[in-house]
């Protein structure tokens, strides 16, 4: 049994098929990349898995248990936590309090343990110095790291990161890749979306490519990058 199994997930908004019949599976300890141009359906697929959107059709199971249709908080307590493409922090709370909330409600930790968890994960993502600042004072890359600390603090074994490396320069991407590999070393499994392929090459074991809601390729990152359907989706017909 895979850790996560997605079968035939379809999500339509009116006549638009944002996600169309997507299958995927994730093994324990794996880092799976989901790439695709803007509008390909990456965030919608994540929202369905995390319980933020109800699928039009298809099934999602986690450790063999069906989770489609569960609320986001129920999905989180079962073990799946997601960051947002635009980080959703409580702006007036401190950075530490934002992470504390995740440890308290996501994991159900007592206050003492939750404080320790929050402190540990903030240090892990390199935001220890900013712990007592209001979240609204953080830069966009810092917000993404705070969002990462939040999902880690929930204790969820499966982490979904929605373009968590967007807007980072090359050096910052390299640092983020090292950090995410360390997250895996600490026993978490990861599904990571990016629209920039470069970011995911050094990170993912396997990549799924979406285009207009459909899976058009799947495989090792280096192979997928050479796939003509993928090149066409990204660069247009003339390049393929």
Binding residues (CB under 5 A) for Mg ion: these are 42-43, 85
Give the separation between CA 13 and CA 219, rounded to whole angstroms: 29
Give the separation between CA 81 and CA 69, rounded to whole angstroms: 16
Q: Which of 53, 56, 27, 65 is nearest to 188 (CA)?
A: 27
Residue 68 DSSP one-character state: T
Stretch that binds ligand ADP, among 33-41, 104-112, 121-129, 150-158 (CB under 6 A): 33-41
Q: Closer CB to ligand ADP, residue 47 or residue 98?
A: 47
If binding is defined by CB under 6 A, does position 15 make contact with ligand ADP?
A: no
CB of 230 to ligand ADP, least distance (A): 14
Stretch that binds ligand ADP, among 23-31, 36-44, 103-111, 200-208 (CB under 6 A): 36-44
Query: Tokens for 104?
Result: 């308290």
Handedness of CA 181, 186, 190, 194 (dihedral sign): negative
CB of 93 to ligand ADP, least distance (A): 27
Select from Mg ion, ligand ADP, none the partner in contact with residue 171, using the beta carbon and a kind-dependent cut-off of 5 to 8 Å: none
Contact set for ligand ADP, span 145-174 (CB under 6 A): none
Stretch that binds ligand ADP, among 11-19, 57-65, 133-141, 184-192 (CB under 6 A): 11-19
Say if CB 44 and CB 212 are below 8 A apart: no
Stretch that binds ligand ADP, among 31-39, 72-80, 137-145, 146-154 (CB under 6 A): 31-39
Select from Mg ion, ligand ADP, none the partner in contact with residue 215, using the beta carbon and a kind-dependent cut-off of 5 to 8 Å: none
CB of 85 to ligand ADP, least distance (A): 7
Stretch that binds ligand ADP, among 1-9, 37-45, 176-184, 217-225 (CB under 6 A): 37-45
* Total interface residues for ligand ADP by CB under 6 A: 11
C-alpha distances in Å from residue 154, one per residue of 64, 101, 211: 21, 9, 31
Terminal alpha carbon distance of the chain: 37
Give the separation between CA 203 and CA 226, rounded to whole angstroms: 17
Say if CB 207 and CB 230 are below 8 A apart: no
Contacts 24+ apart (CB under 8 A), 180-183: 180/31, 181/31, 182/124, 183/152, 183/159
Spell out, one character per residue from 38 to 77, where the chain touches ligand ADP: x when CB under 6 A holds, - when not. xxxxxxx---------------------------------
Give the separation between CA 232 and CA 57, rounded to whole angstroms: 28
Binding footprint of ligand ADP on the chain (CB under 6 A): 13, 16, 18, 36, 38-44
């Amino acid at each position: 049994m895979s850790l996560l199994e997605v079968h035939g997930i379809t999500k339509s908004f009116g006549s638009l098929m944002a996600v169309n019949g997507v299958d995927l599976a994730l093994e324990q300890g794996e880092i799976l990349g989901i790439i695709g141009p803007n509008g390909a359906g990456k965030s919608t697929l994540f929202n369905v898995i995390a319980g933020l959107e109800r699928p039009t059709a298809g099934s999602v199971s986690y450790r063999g248990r069906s989770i489609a249709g569960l609320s986001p908080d129920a999905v989180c307590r079962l073990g799946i936590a997601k960051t947002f493409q635009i980080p959703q922090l409580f702006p007036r709370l401190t950075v530490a309090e934002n992470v504390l909330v995740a440890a308290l409600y996501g994991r159900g930790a007592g206050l003492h343990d939750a404080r320790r968890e929050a402190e540990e994960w903030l240090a892990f993502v390199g935001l220890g110095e900013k712990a007592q600042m209001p979240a609204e004072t953080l830069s966009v890359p810092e917000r993404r790291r705070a969002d990462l600390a939040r999902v880690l603090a929930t204790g969820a074994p499966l982490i979904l990161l929605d373009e968590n490396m967007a807007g980072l320069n090359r050096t910052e991407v390299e640092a983020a890749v090292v950090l995410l590999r360390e997250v895996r070393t600490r026993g978490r499994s990861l599904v990571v979306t990016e629209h920039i392929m470069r970011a995911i090459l050094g990170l993912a074991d396997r990549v799924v490519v979406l285009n207009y809601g459909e899976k058009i390729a799947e495989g090792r990152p280096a192979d997928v990058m050479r796939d003509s359907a993928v090149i066409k989706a990204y660069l247009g017909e003339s390049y393929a």
